[in-house]
Every structure is written in structure tokens, then in C-alpha cells.
Amino acid sequence: QSVFCVENEYLDWVQKAYPSKEVKVMHQADTFLAGALSETSSESEIYICIENRYMNMVILKEGNLLLNNRYYY
């Protein structure tokens, strides 16, 4: 799991908008990694999520994590 900051006003807004739901805040990189790990394969795979000023890259080999990193450009 990643360590990151969420402004209280955003979290309060979501909790008020969905009072009967449990709110779980996750970093985008964590959800991207979870999605890549859910794709089981016996081969090497590269997953890239490209954003405006950075990209997240996940590399798996036979289902094992080799790299999970964010690169700014």
C-alpha cells in the first residue's frame, strides 16, 4: 500500500455523499498494481498507465512482481 495525503474536505464530502457505504481510499498506483497482478500469466508482461506528466509501470514475470514504479517526464 502507498502512503499519500487526501484533504479532509474531499474525504468528508465522499462520506456525506455515501453515508451508508464504507469509504476506502486507495492510491491510483495501488489499484493499477492490483489490476496487473490479477492478470495471471506464465509469461513476462509489462503494464503501463500513462498520465499527463508521469507514467506508472508494472513488470511481471510468471506472475511475480519485478518492478512497480512511477516515472515523471
Q: Each residue of 4-54: pLDDT tens digit?
A: 888 999 999 999 999 999 988 888 888 999 999 998 778 899 999 999 999
Residue 59: partners with Cβ closer than 8 Å, 6 or more residues away: 44, 45, 46, 47, 65, 66, 67, 68
pTM of the predicted structure, to 2 decimals: 0.71
The reported pLDDT for the residue numbered 26 is: 86
